[in-house]
Amino acid sequence: MFIKGIKRNYLRVLEDESIPDHEKIDALLMKLGGQFLVSKDDRVYIFKDGDAEAKFDAKHARAYHFKDYVIKDMNKLFHDFNAD
C-alpha cells in the first residue's frame, strides 16, 4: 500500500461530514483494508492477506486529527498487504 493512497483516503474520510468523528478511524480502516478484513469484534479489526496478518484495536487508536501519526500507523499496519 502506498502512502499517497493512504493520504488520499484519510482526506476523504476527514472531509466526509456523514461520518461521526468517533467513527472516522473505523471508516479509514474499512477503506484501506476492507477486502482483507476477517474479523472486527468489539472494534478490534483483524486483516489477513496470504501469510500477512494485522490486528488493530480502534478503541485505543490515536485521535483522527493526528494526521501524520494515523497515516504512519496505517502504513505500518498494511505494509505487507497487496492492494489491487
CA atoms within 13 A on the CB side of 3: 5
Is the pLDDT assigned to residue 11 strictly greater than 90? yes
CA–CA distance, 63 with 44 (Å, rounded to integer): 16
Does residue 32 form part of some domain? yes
Does residue 84 form part of some domain? no
Does residue 26 form part of some domain? yes
Count of the separate structural domains present in the chain: 1
Is the pLDDT assigned to residue 46 strictly greater than 60? yes
CA atoms within 13 A on the CB side of 48: 6
CA–CA distance, 29 with 18 (Å, rounded to integer): 16
Which domain covers residue 57, as residue numbers? 3-77
Residue 2's pLDDT band (cuts 50, 70, 90): confident
Is the pLDDT assigned to residue 48 strictly greater than 80? yes
Does residue 83 form part of some domain? no
Q: Is the separation of the CB atoms in 43 and 57 below 8 Å?
A: yes
